[in-house]
Structure 1
Amino acid sequence: MQNRGHDVTVLTGLPNYPEGEIFEGYGIFKNRKQVINGVKIIRSILLPRGKGSGIRLFANYYSFAFFASIKAFFLGLNNRFDAVIVHEPSPITQYYPALLINKIWKTPVYFWVMDLWPESLSIAGGVKNKFVLNYYTNVIKKFYENAEKILITSKGFRGAINEKGNFDDKIVYFPNWAEDAISEGNKNFPIPELPEGFKVMFAGNIGEAQDLDSIMKAALELKDKKHIQFILVGDGRKMPFVKDFVDHNNLNDTISIMGRFPVEAMSSFFDKADVMLVTLKDDPIFNLTVPAKLQAYMSASKPIVAMLNGEGSENIIDAECGFTVPAGDYVGLSETILKASSLSADELRVVGENSRAYYERYFKMSACISNLESIISK
């Protein structure tokens, strides 16, 4: 957006995910204001999420909402913004600063929904209290009512949103795209040496939604197939579980935990993988979700192995760019990976080319940004 002549300001928080502590180099008096590629970055104070317990997450979410709203008020005094885009992978409380700007200065808000609430709070967060869930149902309904447009990353979100009110005329399908740093990135970016064998790579958030339990069970099924190597690139709340599972089941020979790397390294990692792995838990909310990593995998011309339901699986089948098994089917996943490992390099290359062709048609960044400009200009 900035490169196309728009004046962009980002209001965000002090970085603290996933470790739960404020990153080195940032703080109340450090790097609260930055300019990155011409974009003005304003970082609000917040309480770090710690180990992700309920109380700490609550404090993290609402401290950002409170302090960012104060910051938004003063930003609005000095800048009459034409539009506010709320980027919402989770939580919904980050809508509050945008709500304040809308109420005071009538600035239209475009709500980019990547995570359904309160469904996600119940399923991924484990919250079952009906009072809490009803409270957030009412909160999200007010946000939908306030938004100029509701942008959805998955077509399946439409029904879930309309269950909370008649918002159909506001809803616009607006999918994720892949970073240019991945699709056009440096394949020689320095990364650690990877093990020899058929490399099955999972890249991205290692959290509850990604069903690491089933991935680990599939790896255990393939424990004796030493030529199949699982490569995990990323970090998240489930990483302690993953490390314990690997150690307890003596899987260090077939599972490599690489840790977190900058997006610039992803092109190099992806290039060295034979297939890319995408998974989501078997749950109604996740059946409506298209994981953002799917577009990244496609942009890198990689064959995809998927253990998920719904629209994400349908995209892979439609594109003929990989292999899918139902969510939670770890036995089927292990069998599919074993089958994929028997394919020739030429067969895998054709599947990877299908991935790239589908990405070019539906998920290319330049086309998505043009679409966003069109949505806002209306």
Structure 2
Amino acid sequence: MRILMVSQYYRPEGAHVVNELAETLAERGHEVVVLTGFPNYPAGVLFEGYRQSWRSVESDGAVTVRRVPLVTSHSSNPLGRILNYASFALSTLTASGLARRADVVYVYATQMTAALAPAIWRAFGGAPYVLHVQDLWPESITESGMLPPAVSKTVERSLSGWLRWTYQRAAATIAIAPTMLRTLRTRGVPRDRGHVVFNWGRRIADPTDPAAGGETGENEADGVGLDVMYAGTLGDLQDLDTAIHAAHLASDLEGFTLHIVGGGLAEPRLRRLAEELGTTNVRFHGLVPSDRMAAMYRRSHFQLVPLRDIEIFRGTIPSKFQASMSLGIPVVTTVAGDLTEIVRTNELGFAARPEDPASLARAFREAHAASAEQRSAFAERALDYYDKTMTRETSTARIEQILATAATEGTR
């Protein structure tokens, strides 16, 4: 197939799903072109070595990459974020020639605005398109805290009709969790065109190789006490305030530390909260180079996977869950809905209610009380679950088949 992939993010940005899908499809003999912006995520600053232009074409192995200009921004300023999303969507319209040559268009929908051009192309006889929905809209905008309530209502009303039109005309829509698919069906996705494909994890180290973690000068997790690690963005949606309060409630647990790795807009507030509580079992590590992350993972007994109590998150499976499973590390999660069900049903760790410090503190106590044998069993189940449901090979093969079926629409 001739596949055009539309994604606001692409290598060298760390959007591993679209990066690895493009690579895999090219390896399988397809002609792959990626239409993307100039790299600036997550800081909103253009990467060194890049200058924006209208005619930028480069090669990434067997993948052709066409870049279009956009407003670089990733701040808490809603105007900057909206301009960032909208400018990419409008810039992609200039690449209609790529769409005319494609058999199928794949849209990596972290922002649904990336679907604007593919939907318009299709309306005028262009190639069928497949949506790979990563975040539900409009809630990802209206419930992010960026917009005042009155503005959020206006944005929701203005986007809802366009989103339904886009879903209805897609040749297929891929959701990353069952609850997300059920929600998308209520918003226009035809029943026979909706699919669930779990995002795959990035196995950053061989879980069977004790030397893969690298040298850090600290001992790996040894079953003594409890080391829980959160690794990711420090933002409002992650609800790390609850995690810090819960850690404080569990401060009597011997050898218990909550490690927070990463950076973000909420970091100063979170550090102040820990200081005001006087908690001594929360440790901030800041941003850690990627080549040291395997070692960080190895020093933890459990990974913390939290999110706020928002309806759309019931159909969300954060990528840190797959990363943890790939290394055989069980989780403590506050993500209600699909993820809590997966963790409990498959015995992959412990689940607590979101935005409930007392509930999360109880989960920390259960994890602390787990014996070495129980933790080993958790690890074995985590690896088995990952290998059966969340590998790159399994998920990309399903997406390839969905694209092939969608491409037949263009030949009718």
Pairing 1:153–2:176 present: yes
Partner of residue 52, structure 2: 28
**Distance 1:137-1:314 versus aligned 2 partners, 3 A rule:** same
Alignment partner of 2:98 out of 53, 75, 78: 75
1:29-49: CA deviation from partner (whole Å, max 9, x where unpaired): 699544334323333211122
C-alpha separation in 2, matches of 1:158 and 1:139: 18
**Distance 1:194-1:82 versus aligned 2 partners, 3 A rule:** farther
Partner of residue 283, structure 1: 310
**Distance 1:203-1:99 versus aligned 2 partners, 3 A rule:** same
Partner of residue 245, structure 1: 273
SS in 2 for 1:9: strand
1:256-289: CA deviation from partner (whole Å, max 9, x where unpaired): 3231543x65433322211111111112111222
| Most deviating of 2-11 and 223-232 | 223-232
**Distance 1:199-1:166 versus aligned 2 partners, 3 A rule:** closer
**Distance 1:188-1:356 versus aligned 2 partners, 3 A rule:** closer
C-alpha displacement of 1:233 = 2.7
Alignment partner of 2:136 out of 116, 120, 143: 116
**Distance 1:348-1:184 versus aligned 2 partners, 3 A rule:** closer
1:207-249: CA deviation from partner (whole Å, max 9, x where unpaired): 3322122112123324455722222233333333323334444
- Correspondence 1:327-346 to 2 at 5 A: 327-346=354-373
Partner of residue 334, structure 2: 307
SS in 2 for 1:316: helix
C-alpha displacement of 1:350 = 0.9
Partner of residue 163, structure 1: 186
C-alpha separation in 2, matches of 1:41 and 1:244: 43
Partner of residue 198, structure 1: 226
SS in 2 for 1:12: strand
**Distance 1:319-1:61 versus aligned 2 partners, 3 A rule:** same
**Distance 1:209-1:191 versus aligned 2 partners, 3 A rule:** farther
C-alpha separation in 2, matches of 1:276 and 1:99: 39
Q: Which runs of 5+ in 1 are unaligned?
A: none
Q: Which runs of 5+ in 2 are unaligned?
A: 1-24, 406-412
C-alpha separation in 1, matches of 2:235 and 2:390: 24
Pairing 1:107–2:134 present: no
Partner of residue 357, structure 1: 384
Kept after mapping to 2: 8 A contact 1:49/1:60: yes
C-alpha separation in 2, matches of 1:10 and 1:234: 29
C-alpha separation in 1, matches of 2:341 and 2:283: 28
C-alpha displacement of 1:296 = 1.8
1:69-98: CA deviation from partner (whole Å, max 9, x where unpaired): 22x224346xx1222211122x21111232
SS in 2 for 1:10: strand
C-alpha separation in 1, matches of 2:322 and 2:117: 29
| Most deviating of 289-298 and 16-25 | 16-25
**Distance 1:189-1:39 versus aligned 2 partners, 3 A rule:** farther
Pairing 1:375–2:375 present: no
Partner of residue 210, structure 1: 238
Alignment partner of 1:258 out of 280, 283, 286: 286
C-alpha separation in 1, matches of 2:58 and 2:65: 5
Pairing 1:39–2:63 present: yes
Kept after mapping to 2: 8 A contact 1:46/1:63: yes
Identity of aligned residues (%): 26
SS in 2 for 1:201: strand
Instruction: Give the alignment's TM-score, normalised by structure 2.
Output: 0.81
SS in 2 for 1:359: helix
SS in 2 for 1:150: strand
C-alpha displacement of 1:7 = 2.3
Instruction: Give the alignment's TM-score, normalised by structure 1.
Output: 0.88
**Distance 1:230-1:115 versus aligned 2 partners, 3 A rule:** same
Partner of residue 98, structure 1: 118
Alignment partner of 2:320 out of 289, 293, 296: 293
SS in 2 for 1:301: coil
Partner of residue 178, structure 1: 201
SS in 2 for 1:60: helix
C-alpha separation in 1, matches of 2:397 and 2:169: 24
